[in-house]
Chains A and B, each alone.
Chain A
Amino acid sequence: MNVHQVLSGAGPYDAVTTQALAFRERFRAWGWGGRDVAAEIDPRIGDKIAPLRSLDARDGDVLLVHYSAYAPKLRRVLEMPQRTLLISHNITPARWFWDHDPQAGVVCALGRKQLPQFAAAADVAAGVSLYNAQEFGSDVVIPILFDPAALGTPGPADRAGGTDSPTILFVGRLAPHKRQDAVIRAFELYRRRHAPDARLVLVGAPINWPYDAAMRVLAEEISPGRVTIESGLTREQLAARWRSADAFLCLSEHEGFCIPLLEAFHFGLPVIARAIGGVPEVAGDAALLLADADDEMVAAELLALAVGDAELRATLRERGAARVAAYAPERTARRLREVLESLASGRP
């Protein structure tokens, strides 16, 4: 069987490209052919992804469209006679970008508007989470292919347990909807009352330089010298950040799936997160979830419990391991294969 993957855009660090390349590895292992193409390609990706114009699908081939941004060129793909699976990787609502990155706002607004039409044109439309799939009236879920082995080993069982200088970590693009501003404030409220020597590490590429500068200024105003903002880390450096952290704090206002939750579980960290989008579905009972009405003060107090209460940490660690198992790559790969094989055989 041949499965051709079509991406809106491909880059060396973006999650969707990483996902497509992981899928391709599985396809090869199953003896399947096909090639991966994208409408827009970052030259740093090399020859792993070909230009969209080189797509050469034959009768009986299957097209897998990864939809993550506005891409008018993809319309042509959905009009092709081959059977098509569309996987939506979630698009952030434009309202988070108008003030900080208007171009991204336009891409998000158009991308979200176009999604229902694209989903209707595909033979099967799936989301990476149920939350995501329901945005266009589907209940087909093909989760992110999360491979914990690629992240490295977790490290000591539990290094916190009363440490005087805990490290709080958040991993995610430095972007408005990720609310690093709220993370900084919650951290400072925690540090001030419970752990004066604590530090906060924010890892993630900024949407643009002015936003990066604004977050750095805010960090210095609120919690001088206690916040580190990093990006462009190697896999080993990122693994080291996870291993040296004592808790993961995520106050995002929009998440379609939130891979860092599973990464945190893999490294045995307690997770405090806002219960939005796909977060409750992915985290299950393994995270301490904040409701809409809970402010940064509540997040700070939850941090204190998550860092200092050994029994709570142990329970969360155990439940986190179960969530990682629930998203085991073999399970996701099996689900992906089922959907693609049923598509190829002409079943809906």
Chain B
Amino acid sequence: MRPEQALAAARAAAAERDDPLGAGTTIEPTERVSIEQLMEWANIEPDVDLMRSTRKLGAPITWAKRQLVHVLRQYLRELQSQQTRFNLNLLIRVAELEDRVARLEGLGFPPPAPPSEAAPPPPTEP
């Protein structure tokens, strides 16, 4: 078979098959992150179990790092809570603004024109 014929032959053979696989993890791109997902991410909560070494003989180093995290827990908790507080408050503001914009658009206020279509600025005095 010539390479140019292979794709058509494969498509024909695939069309005759009726043995799909069961469901499983499928990787999909995330085009737009929802506000709910942002809320989840905003809550900074690292899982110490995710500290893993993929290198040979890396286990003792990872163990030492875990101990360091334990020793610094008071400082790290404060750091996490301050960051989370900021993230969540900022997100709530964004969500409120989105609601306000949606309400205004519903009342007949048109969305603003993109910058390129906007009216030119008035001429300035010399």
Contacts and interface: CB of A to CB of B under 8 A. Distances in A.
Contact of B21 (A98, A185, A253, A312): A185
Contacts of A309: 1, 6
B26 interface: yes
Do most interface residues of chain B lie in helix, strand or loop, or is the interface mixed? loop
Contacts of A210: 50
A297 B1 contact: no
Nearest to A176: B27
B30 A302 contact: no
A312 B11 contact: no
Is the interface on chain B under 10, 10 to 19, 20 to 34, or 35 or more residues? 20 to 34
Contact of A298 (B10, B33, B50): B10
Contact of B6 (A93, A176, A192, A288): A288
Interface centre among B10, B11, B14, B19, by most A CB within 10 Å? B10
Nearest to A316: B3
Interface residues of A, number: 53
Given A181-B25, A188-B21, A99 B1 contact: no
B27 A209 contact: no
A297 B10 CA distance: 9
A193 interface: yes
Contact of A305 (B9, B26, B27, B50): B9
Contacts of A289: 7
Interface stretch (A10-18, A55-63, A120-128, A214-222): A214-222
B108 to A, nearest CB: 34
Contacts of A296: 21
A341 interface: no
Contacts of A231: 54
Given A193-B19, A231-B54, A301-B13, A214 B25 contact: yes
Interface string A224-241: 000000011000000000
B87 to A, nearest CB: 12
B115 interface: no
A102 interface: yes
Contacts of B17: 189, 193, 297, 301
A298 B11 contact: yes
Nearest to A309: B1
A232 B58 CA distance: 14
B93 interface: no
Interface in A300-326: 300-302, 304-306, 309, 311-312, 315-316, 319
B14 A218 contact: no
A302 B6 contact: yes
Contacts of B24: 181, 185, 218, 221-222
Contacts of B1: 305, 309, 311-312
B125 interface: no
Interface of A: 93, 95-96, 98-100, 102, 176-177, 179, 181-182, 185, 188-189, 192-193, 205-206, 209-210, 212, 214, 217-218, 221-222, 231-232, 253, 285, 288-291, 294-302, 304-306, 309, 311-312, 315-316, 319
